[in-house]
Amino acid sequence: MPALRFALVLFAIAVTANADNFSARFDAVRSQATPEQLYALLYALPKGGDLHNHFGGANRSEWMWAILTDSARNGGDVFYARERFDAAPDAIAATARHHTIRAATYRALPPAQQREYVALTAMTSNERDAWLNAFRLEAPGEGRAVFFEDHWPRLGDINANPHVRFELLAENIKAFAAEGVRYLELQFGVRGMQHNDLSDLSDAEAVAMMEARLAQPDIVATGLELRFLEMILRFAPDAEQDLIDTYAWVDAHRDRWVGINMAGIEENGKGYPRRFLDTYRRLRAKYPTLPLAIHAGEMDSPDHNIRDTLLLGASRIGHGVNILGDEDTLLMLQHSDRTLIEVNLISNRLLEYVTDLDRHPFPELLRTGVPVCLNTDDRGMWDSNMTDEYYTAVTHFNLSWAELVQLGRNSLSHAFVEEPVKSHLLAAYDADIAAFETRFSRGTIADALAELEAVSPVTYGYGRRNWGFGFAE
């Protein structure tokens, strides 16, 4: 065994022993902590990676507003949203409200339609608040239909502006790093972006702009490791051709893009997994294989989509909320470490795939040997963060210290990042966990709780609405 690997094994053994020793301490701190103190403790917790994250839904409305209204950050563009209508309000489609476009798109509209759009910088305070709320699930009664049918169309051509896209990427990196995430695997692409005059930006130009932004000191200082997945919309009419084109593109950009994801509502009968089986097999005959992390089991009723997705070659399953209804596949997953299920508790609750979180399959998976980790999915549209996922898991399922540590290790062990970097991330995670244990082991339980006063948690609308937390944003 090489010396470095041997040293890492010894370190992991030592960390496991320390985790066992810290378990009782963690339980005691948690039992005496207020909800706010528990949240602060989990905010400080090292969290490994976020593996299931849609960039388009990851951006908080406030981040978008700040960038879209700042010419220094958006490349000198101007953005308009559809806010004023001649027709009666109840006759206006929800997808039309708050639809946001760039200046060149606005100039191409006929005058009558231009009058319906308002520059973001000219909005009233009420219009601004309505716009901010239009990109998140924050009102009673909103759910799956609003999310899939209204939120995404409203984004218009926001993400076609490369300056905006890369500034939003920077905001995500800094926010995740601040709460202890050290690896981020985003569903993120650079194809199809345009200059302010709507002329096409080449892929090479886009990648160069992105890498230049990632090399800036504010991003480098975070220490966060970043890789991307290209995403395919599974039910699109041309999804097979999109898969062929995407596979070739990712193969040519393996330094930053590490795999492929297929997403889309599974209720749509055109997105069933076996539709793509022949295409994947032909692609694997042509290219060295690419890792696959594919949405499956995000359904209200039992089906065999998870099993069929594994047949496509996926080694990570997104959501998997109906897995308990396919006992043969569950049994297989319980006896194999190859496949990880990417759990998204807040997403599953808000989209009503699991109306009662206490009945979520997460604890059954975790405690019967199926590799799982926690993820944020579309955290901007939930107005949440990674700590919210951990707080939800701890308070609903009484997670032990060893289980918390395992969640973080699972996220890194099943990351698609290249092996040398993965080894480094795992070693760094073990060191961070050891430092966390040392920090909160000193003195009495009261001393540990007092140490939390030095933690400055950040929470957003989800934490305020559901738990009443008043931490700063």
At 181-222, the pLDDT tens digits run 999 999 999 999 999 999 999 999 999 999 999 999 999 999
Residue 450 lies in a domain: no
Helix axes 3-32, 35-44, angle to 10 degrees: 170
Q: Is the pLDDT score of 28 beyond 90?
A: yes
Residue 140 lies in a domain: no
**What are phi and psi for residue 334, nearest 5 degrees?**
-65, -20
Please state, in angstroms and rounded to a whole number, the distance separating the CA atoms of residues 79 and 432.
42
- CA distances in angstroms from 286 to 279, 280, 282, 290, 417, listed in the order given: 11, 10, 7, 11, 22
Please state, in angstroms and rounded to a whole number, the distance separating the CA atoms of residues 95 and 101.
13
Residue 330 lies in a domain: yes
Mean pLDDT value across residues 400-415: 98
User: Are residues 55 and 176 part of one domain?
Assistant: yes
Q: List, for residues 261-282, the tens digit of each pLDDT value.
A: 999 877 667 889 999 999 999 9
User: Are residues 73 and 195 part of one domain?
Assistant: no
Q: How confident is the model at residue 89 (pLDDT cuts 50, 70, 90)?
A: low
CB atoms closer than 10 angstroms to residue 145: 11
DSSP code for 147: I
pLDDT, residue 472, reads 85
User: Are residues 254 and 107 part of one domain?
Assistant: no
Mean pLDDT value across residues 57-67: 98
Give the count of domains, the chain. Answer: 2
In the block, tokens 């961070």 appear at 432
Q: Among residues 354, 304, 353, 312, which one has the least CA distance to residue 329?
A: 304
**What are phi and psi for residue 194, nearest 5 degrees?**
-135, 150
Q: Is the pLDDT score of 25 beyond 70?
A: yes
Q: Is the pLDDT score of 224 beyond 70?
A: yes
Residue 17 lies in a domain: no
User: Are residues 253 and 233 part of one domain?
Assistant: yes
Domain span including residue 122:
62-135
Q: For the domain that residue 363 is a member of, what is the CATH number?
A: 3.20.20.140
Q: List, for residues 307-336, the tens digit of each pLDDT value.
A: 999 999 999 999 999 999 999 999 999 999
Residue 287 lies in a domain: yes
User: Are residues 265 and 123 part of one domain?
Assistant: no
User: Are residues 344 and 200 part of one domain?
Assistant: yes
pLDDT, residue 86, reads 79
User: Are residues 68 and 206 part of one domain?
Assistant: no
Residue 354: both structure tokens together: 């699991």
